[in-house]
Structure 1
């Protein structure tokens, strides 16, 4: 990594670390305070955490909105106050009588566009306060259901041990989907309760585990995806003339090029990333400009 270089680092987050812990470690590794992350992972979870360094921190809000992939283990037969294994067991009901057909039907009902109530212990704000802070104080938090999309919910293994069933699944979903809430709702629909016991994020948009590196590996060799390559891999690309490049560099708008509703990366004739723009009403207006 060159001094002042901007780009993305795809971290394989270790268990027990918060996403903020990872940012703190990456600040030391990269030698800059300008580090952030896209899409928080709970401490229990491992896997893909997209970290931005330098100017790339301005991409993170846009990257957080892309589809995600997870490998999860759901335990049926026990509910917890956090909907995962980090919480305390609040109820137990034998799952021994849950047939495979009922399990398949329960998963099918949670696939596609669904309305999902976030977990009580979550970072959602209610009247300006984080839900998890209210839950810790013993306050009942009334969270509204939100539309999310579960694109794929594939069972990869079912293990029965007495009164509990452990279900391994591979899940592809929209941004904002809580896998803990899927575990809770699956258990509730089957009448036995459920919670998440393991979670590994396998993908955020175009970035997957194959690109991810551990913090130890990154401390030895900081692999950084340059900001231009990061944008080109995640968003549609638009190459412009020198005249249009000058306009974009000064925050000017271009004619829309019909490249879609989401962010579009605009590149100068020499391949330099200029800006991220959004097409609206026939114009492409800047979301973030990256050239000085």
Structure 2
């Protein structure tokens, strides 16, 4: 498949649709079976879903560690079986407990969740346990409790407090590491406040360098004569610092061969004299090696 027909597409996913359903729609839009996505969004969630087209699917693995940003609406005072609005109510806090809880108390509690923390993923997550998704085990009646894992919350703020209807609703703005579960964050904040909590709305605003400003709706993509595509030539240097290579070095990288070390730190995108992104490279003590070849010599 030509590199010219490969790249990334940033979708503004609508509510009520699975990420897999989005991929199915994209396959029809781009007329290829080679479509994948990075970072599943639950059906209730909206916002940024990055998908790969053709060879772009192989680049998705290198977006896996991307930081993410969210706007979330959280309801304090009620906990549910799924930690979101679709689950059954498990506990309801007393009106006295909620009345005693001030906005300042909530903001102060958020400080405990900033930085490097341990988080227990939601039991209804897509994490596999012995080859079977956790959420499927829950649906089958199993008791599931996943082990905690390290995550990082770079920034966390709350505002728009609403105390109507015997609960406290508030908006969270979250900037976090990959692997963070926002529904689990809502659960844990509610537990830390002693009143329970769950997620009632979620919108992902960014995945790494890609934000809602880059996103198109499925309807916009379907109506476009030429659906937009972030080419690999644009995506690689946007995600990783560019590294200029000459024609011969580019040829070697396209074959997966190694170059002499240059004293680099981290992953870089190798760019040839024509401005083409050839590969992602990473330096070891002995050489500069490829970790992803965007333009194989065979294409």
TM-score normalized by structure 1? 0.95
Query: Which residue of the partner structure matches residue 37 of structure 1?
Result: 37
- The offset of 1:64, in angstroms, is 2.4
Query: Which residue of the partner structure matches residue 145 of structure 1?
Result: 148
1:238 aligns with one of 218, 240, 243: 243
Query: Which residue of the partner structure matches residue 199 of structure 2?
Result: 196
Q: Is the 8 A contact 1:76 1:194 kept in 2?
A: yes
DSSP-derived class of the 1:277 partner: strand
Alignment deviations for residues 228-261 of structure 1 (CA, whole Å, 9 cap, x no partner): 1011111111110112112111110123434432
Match status 1:163 vs 2:187: no
- The offset of 1:38, in angstroms, is 0.8
Alignment deviations for residues 251-282 of structure 1 (CA, whole Å, 9 cap, x no partner): 10123434432x32112221122112222334
Q: Is the 8 A contact 1:77 1:165 kept in 2?
A: yes
Runs of at least 5 residues in structure 1 that lack an aligned partner in the other structure: none
Q: Distance in 2 between matches of 1:167 and 1:148?
A: 23
Alignment deviations for residues 57-102 of structure 1 (CA, whole Å, 9 cap, x no partner): 1111111211101000010011111111122212211333211222
DSSP-derived class of the 1:254 partner: coil
Q: Distance in 2 between matches of 1:173 and 1:251?
A: 33
2:259 aligns with one of 254, 278, 282: 254
Query: Which residue of the partner structure matches residue 52 of structure 2?
Result: 52
Q: Distance in 1 between matches of 2:109 and 2:141?
A: 31
Q: Distance in 2 between matches of 1:69 and 1:201?
A: 6
Q: Distance in 2 between matches of 1:193 and 1:246?
A: 58
Compute the RMSD of aligned alpha carbons. 1.6
Query: Which residue of the partner structure matches residue 79 of structure 2?
Result: 79
- The offset of 1:3, in angstroms, is 9.8
Larger mean Cα displacement after TM superposition, 277-286 or 101-110:
277-286
Q: Distance in 2 between matches of 1:108 and 1:282?
A: 43
- The offset of 1:29, in angstroms, is 0.3
Q: Distance in 2 between matches of 1:188 and 1:227?
A: 44
2:290 aligns with one of 263, 269, 286: 286
Query: Which residue of the partner structure matches residue 266 of structure 1?
Result: 270
Q: Distance in 2 between matches of 1:83 and 1:279?
A: 43
Q: Distance in 1 between matches of 2:93 and 2:168?
A: 11
Q: Distance in 2 between matches of 1:3 and 1:56?
A: 9
